[in-house]
Amino acid sequence: MISHAAAGILRPLSHLNGGVLSVTPEITELKGGLRVVTTPMPTAQSVSVNVFAGAGARGETERTKGVAHFLEHMMFKGTTERPTAIVIAEAIEGAGGVLNAYTAKELTCYWNHVPYDQLELAMTVLADMFYDSLLDPEEIDRERTVVKQEISRGKDQPGSYVGELLGRAVYGDHQMGWPTTGTEESVDGLQRDDFVDWLQTRYTAPNTVLSVAGNTGHQQVVALAERLFAGSPPAAAPENVGVNGDKLPADRVVFDERPISQSNIALGLPAIARKDPDRYALMILNAVLGRGMSSRLFKEVRERRGLAYSVGSSVSRYSDSGMFVVSAGVSPENVLETVGVILEELEKMTKEAVGAEELQKAKDYTVGSFRLSLESSMALGQRAGESLLTLGEIEPVESVVARLRAVTADDVIRVAQRILKRERAALAIVGPSVDEPALRDLLGAAG
């Protein structure tokens, strides 16, 4: 095995009295390529155990839409040692812990969070699920109904469903634009062989990261991992189909008309990839525009004009693409004006440099919220595992902070000009009937 210490997540700061506690993640690569990372928190009463597989919805085909997410469900449905979902749950909950999983576009994560003296149990249960799930055909058919109910529930939640539609508006008929849960038709067609093939080709050792954070030591975790996580195939996983960020769908406006009292708006623009050097400037730009009640969008759309109850922006980054999104919930009669105001605010960012005071506030907000997001063993375990899997490294917190602090007004306007282009904006709306031609005109997107 290959072992080395990653650069410290928190390094002592000379200008603080006594500095801060150094939390340095340590990484070991096991034989076969599976990576183990631990992040120590000596004062914690817990450990967070997270297994990341670089296998998300993006790797699916037209026929297997939803297989990554469906498999996530099935991994909880029984193993040889723990033959039912109840037995698996009771093993962790009986120790006072919690367990769950999630599927994203480019990864799936299985995790549990337990008292620190239950580390071996936590790792054993996850390894059991990972390598010895029964995938019983009767359970698959039973869970098929559950997954289809989840798909239906998602459609019944306009605020989240509009995000799914925006993916289609930005990426079109590419895996990145498909729903992570799949469709009812594709879920109906998935069989046991599809799950087995997915496990064998995607849940491989080089494509897997085990991340443990909390009150434990690296050597203890590695010793357990060598015994419990040796079953992954050593082969590399297949490459995902690339995204052509310059090619937008023929129709980048999607409407879902339904008789509800509020219109849910999501306006998105293709942005930058996970490793792009402009990611720090984009984080500051995002804070200026739409994070918090002091952001430009909140002040202009809600406080000054009273057009929306909720409005804000966010950034998503992937291996070769990304998305900048503005979301709002508005009364139907305010949709056209709200979209127009949002586009005006985006355009301002490309023409007028952010003032020194506003820039400093955005930096303070971004840095502060970033630090506060890393308070728990769960947060540190998730960050370390996802970073190692998707970036190949764990960037030290103080390095991120330094890069955020170094962003200038020129950086922000340059990135705004790179990304915030009206002719590249896509729009999704879920709600009552709207003036579609006028909205298309605003975006320059003829139907």
Catalytic residues: 72
Question: What are the structure tokens assigned to 272, written together?
Answer: 């930058």
Cα distance between residue 289 and residue 299, in whole Å: 10
Cβ burial of 16 (10 Å; 0-12, 13-18, 19+) is: exposed
Taking residue 21's Cβ as centre, other Cβ atoms within 10 Å add up to 11
Question: What are the structure tokens assigned to 444, written together?
Answer: 């320059």
Q: At 214, which helix (H) or strand (E)?
A: strand 208-214
Per DSSP, the three-state class of 407 is coil
Locate the DSSP E strands across 293-434.
308-317, 322-330, 426-431
- The amino acid at 257: E
Question: What are the structure tokens assigned to 195, written together?
Answer: 């799950």
What residues have CB less than 8 Å from 392, skipping those under 6 apart? Answer: none
- The amino acid at 247: K
Question: What are the structure tokens assigned to 162, written together?
Answer: 């509009």
Question: What are the structure tokens assigned to 38, written together?
Answer: 């631990």
Q: Are 10 and 351 in contact (CB under 8 A)?
A: no
Per DSSP, the three-state class of 30 is coil
Q: Are 354 and 279 in contact (CB under 8 A)?
A: no
